[in-house]
Amino acid sequence: MFNYVLAALIGAMSSVLANKNIAVYNDGFRPVYAEYFSGKMDRKALAATSFAVSFGLIVGFGFTNSIAMGIIIIHTFLLMGDIIGTWFPDNKIGAIISAVVGAAWGLIVVLFMSSIQAFFGSLPVDVLPQIGGVADIVVATFSIFPSIAVAYQHGLKKGVITGVITFVVYLLVGRFGSFAVGDFTLKLNAEGMAMLAGTITMIVYALRVKTEAIEADLTNIFADNVKRIKQNWWLFTIMGGLLGLAASNCLLTTDVISGPLALNGEFAQAGLVALVRAIGYIPLVYTTAIVTGVFSPAGSYFCIAFGLFMTSLGLGPMVTHIAAFVAGAVIITLETFFLGAIGNMLDKFPALRELGDHIRNSMSQILELALLVGGFTASGAITSLIGYGSIGSMAVMIVWMLNKTAKKPFLMPLAVGPVVTIALAVLVNILSVLGFALV
């Protein structure tokens, strides 16, 4: 029941923020508001644009990966919040309707996810462990993304150095990462520490780049936009608290890496992954917010990361809930008030602004490849359950290549592995019921 209430509140708040033209989640949709504020675009066109740029992501990425990971991807809540909020007039009545419809959507998402889990759990062939295996490769390989980002920004040599540092730290922590303090044993996570070492190296390289600062002071040019966001700080405070609490309770996640880690109880590593991801999104989220006057309802995701960190402290359930809510609320409030200062810092250190693009690019490429490999192994394991060997892996390859060669791809590359795996999970059960299983 707690998760249903929490989901309803998140759905309502994200829809209200979009309805009031204060925050939308889709980074590509945010710049459109310049046209709306100037009067060149009416509400109907704004709503149609929101639907066009977000609905495919909800179905093709949000729900698909939520089912495969076993935890709701945040896109499923907040992208629909963008759509719901913009489809109603931006007045008091529209805000109330948006809140009601948004709350209903939050309930639907949680009900759907719980029903899907129950559905697969009731099938004659137990495929849930195999479906969850889609994320195994992602979790195992994600820590090397800093070396890819460094290679893109600074060249192959420095990328290799970063990769070597990452591997060495992984091996050292794996071998010597356990410490006994009385009756308490502290065991460091090798993947998390390796990623942290790579991230520090990546930031050091970026700070050492000597480039001229951008002459245009975006914060002063768009001072009214920054002020507009700050004036609505209390709405972001509520939203940040809800998101921090939801992350700590494993209701939602920002990505397909931190989610499985949190489900496995590895909250510290999940928080670290979410934290690094948040750093990578600072340039994009903050720059578009300053230019348009429309922020993200999740800020730059720091509220999610700190919600996970609060859970890693091992406090009691009620204390953890309160700490996660407070941490998320405080962090996103600070984001709104320091929006201008961070914008100025990005102007003075262009390499940090560029680093954000490279972080997102490297993350996306690793996720795409890792989910594909995860799809190969998981799908092959699923078809093997009824004696069909590696046909599942073949199916993933066929769909991947057809999608890649199609003039208009029918699936997001990130979704191919999870979609085929889920489809095969249903198919093997149908074949089993019809008597076509070979074992």
**What integer pLDDT is reported at residue 357 of this predicted model?**
79
Rounded distance, CA 132 to CA 67, Å? 9
CB-based contact 297:319 (threshold 8 Å):
no
- Last residue of one domain, picked from the residues 289, 313, 348: 348
Give strand ranges (E) for 207-363.
Answer: 252-253
Indicate whether 332 belongs to any domain: yes
Whether residues 224 and 290 fall in one domain: yes
Indicate whether 439 belongs to any domain: no
Whether residues 54 and 12 fall in one domain: yes
pLDDT at 40 over 60: yes
Measured in residues, the chain has a length of 439
**What integer pLDDT is reported at residue 321 of this predicted model?**
93
Indicate whether 407 belongs to any domain: yes
What pLDDT band is residue 9 in, cutting at 50, 70 and 90?
very high
398: exposed, middle or buried (Cβ count in 10 Å: 0-12, 13-18, 19+): exposed
What pLDDT band is residue 213 in, cutting at 50, 70 and 90?
low
Tokens of 344: 């100025």
**What integer pLDDT is reported at residue 209 of this predicted model?**
76
φ/ψ of 179, rounded to 5, equals -130, 130
pLDDT at 147 over 70: yes
Cα distances (Å, whole numbers) of residue 435 to 122, 426, 431? 18, 15, 6
Of the two residues 120 and 159, the one the predictor is more confident about is 159
Highest mean pLDDT among 173-187, 198-212, 252-266, 296-310: 296-310
Indicate whether 135 belongs to any domain: yes
Whether residues 232 and 280 fall in one domain: yes
**What integer pLDDT is reported at residue 129 of this predicted model?**
82
Question: Average pLDDT in the 386-415 region?
Answer: 88
- Last residue of one domain, picked from the residues 310, 329, 348: 348
Rounded distance, CA 379 to CA 418, Å? 9
The predicted model scores a pTM of: 0.82
Whether residues 205 and 294 fall in one domain: no
**What integer pLDDT is reported at residue 185 of this predicted model?**
62
Indicate whether 47 belongs to any domain: yes
Whether residues 322 and 220 fall in one domain: yes
Whether residues 121 and 135 fall in one domain: no
Of the two residues 271 and 61, the one the predictor is more confident about is 271
Question: Average pLDDT in the 103-125 region?
Answer: 89
Whether residues 157 and 299 fall in one domain: no
Give the total number of structural domains in the chain.
2
**What integer pLDDT is reported at residue 144 of this predicted model?**
87
Indicate whether 98 belongs to any domain: yes
Rounded distance, CA 378 to CA 373, Å? 9
Whether residues 120 and 133 fall in one domain: no
**What integer pLDDT is reported at residue 353 of this predicted model?**
73
Question: Average pLDDT in the 156-180 region?
Answer: 87
Whether residues 319 and 418 fall in one domain: no
**What integer pLDDT is reported at residue 245 of this predicted model?**
95
Q: Of 30, 29, 27, whose CA–CA distance to 49 is shortest?
A: 29
**What integer pLDDT is reported at residue 181 of this predicted model?**
61
**What integer pLDDT is reported at residue 242 of this predicted model?**
96
Indicate whether 48 belongs to any domain: yes
Of the two residues 221 and 143, the one the predictor is more confident about is 143
Q: What is the pLDDT of residues 118-143, one digit of tens each?
A: 888 888 888 888 887 787 787 778 78
Indicate whether 43 belongs to any domain: yes
Whether residues 91 and 226 fall in one domain: yes
Q: Of 226, 27, 131, whose CA–CA distance to 427 is shortest?
A: 131
Rounded distance, CA 40 to CA 32, Å? 10
Rounded distance, CA 240 to CA 140, Å? 29
pLDDT at 312 over 60: yes
- Last residue of one domain, picked from the residues 313, 348, 383: 348
Domain that residue 317 falls in? 2-125+214-348
Rounded distance, CA 163 to CA 384, Å? 36
The chain-wide mean pLDDT, for the chain, equals 86
Whether residues 132 and 77 fall in one domain: no
Whether residues 132 and 115 fall in one domain: no
**What integer pLDDT is reported at residue 215 of this predicted model?**
52
CB-based contact 324:247 (threshold 8 Å):
yes
Share of the chain above pLDDT 90, in %: 38
pLDDT at 308 over 90: yes
